[in-house]
C-alpha cells in the first residue's frame, strides 16, 4: 500500500490517494481543493480510483467529492450518520476493500458524529492511517 499526501487549499487540509501497489486500484480520502494535484497523481501512476472516502462531513473534506467522482467514475463513501450524498454507507467495523488492500472503519464520534478513522493491517503491522482531528464544530 502506498499513500500520497497532498496539502490542499488554505485551511491546512490534506487529501490522500491510497494505492494498492499490486493492482494500482486506489481510493481518494477527503478531496477538497486543488483537484488538479489529485488528477496529476492519478494519471502519473496510472491509478484506477474505486472510492472516494470522507473522514467526516465538513465541507473542507468533501467539497471535491462530486467533481472527483465524475472524473474517475468512483463511488462516494460516507458514514451512516452523514446527511451528505453518498453511494455507500459505512459504520464501525466495516471493511473498505480496493485491489488487494483493505481499510477498516473505526467510528470516532467525538466531533462531529460522522467522524471515523481508517486502519490498515499489512504484513502483521496495524496502524491507524487516517484520523481526522477536529478542535471545534
Is 136 a member of any domain? no
Domain residues for 73? 2-130
The number of domains in the chain is 1
Is 52 a member of any domain? yes
Measured in degrees and rounded to the nearest 5, phi and psi for residue 77 equal -110, 130
Give mean pLDDT, residues 107-128: 61
Residues 5-55 pLDDT 10s: 999 888 788 899 999 999 999 999 999 889 999 999 999 999 999 999 988
CATH at 82: 3.60.15.10
Residues 50-72 pLDDT 10s: 999 988 777 777 899 999 999 99
Helices 65-72 and 35-44: crossing angle, nearest 10°? Answer: 30
Is 9 a member of any domain? yes
Is 137 a member of any domain? no
Residue listed under C-alpha cell 500520497: 4
Residues 70-109 pLDDT 10s: 999 999 999 888 889 999 999 888 999 999 998 888 887 7
Is 114 a member of any domain? yes
Is 135 a member of any domain? no
pTM: 0.84
pLDDT surpassing 60 at residue 127 = no
Is 117 a member of any domain? yes
Is 63 a member of any domain? yes
Question: What per-residue confidence (pLDDT) applies to 132?
Answer: 47
Query: Any bridge partners for residue 16, and if so which?
Result: 5, 29
Amino acid at each position: 500500500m502506498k499513500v500520497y499526501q497532498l496539502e490542499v487549499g488554505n485551511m491546512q487540509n490534506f487529501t490522500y490517494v491510497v494505492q494498492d501497489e499490486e493492482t494500482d486500484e486506489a481510493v481518494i480520502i477527503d478531496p477538497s481543493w486543488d483537484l488538479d494535484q489529485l488528477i496529476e497523481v492519478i494519471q502519473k501512476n496510472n491509478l484506477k480510483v474505486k472510492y472516494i472516502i470522507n473522514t467526516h462531513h465538513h465541507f473542507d473534506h468533501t467539497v471535491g467529492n462530486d467533481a472527483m467522482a465524475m472524473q474517475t467514475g468512483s463511488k462516494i463513501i460516507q458514514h451512516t450518520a452523514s446527511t451528505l450524498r453518498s453511494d455507500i454507507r459505512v459504520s464501525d467495523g466495516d471493511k473498505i476493500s480496493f485491489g488487494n488492500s483493505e481499510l477498516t472503519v473505526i467510528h470516532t464520534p467525538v466531533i462531529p458524529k460522522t467522524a471515523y478513522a481508517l486502519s490498515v493491517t499489512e504484513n502483521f503491522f496495524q496502524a491507524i492511517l487516517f484520523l481526522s482531528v477536529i478542535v471545534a464544530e
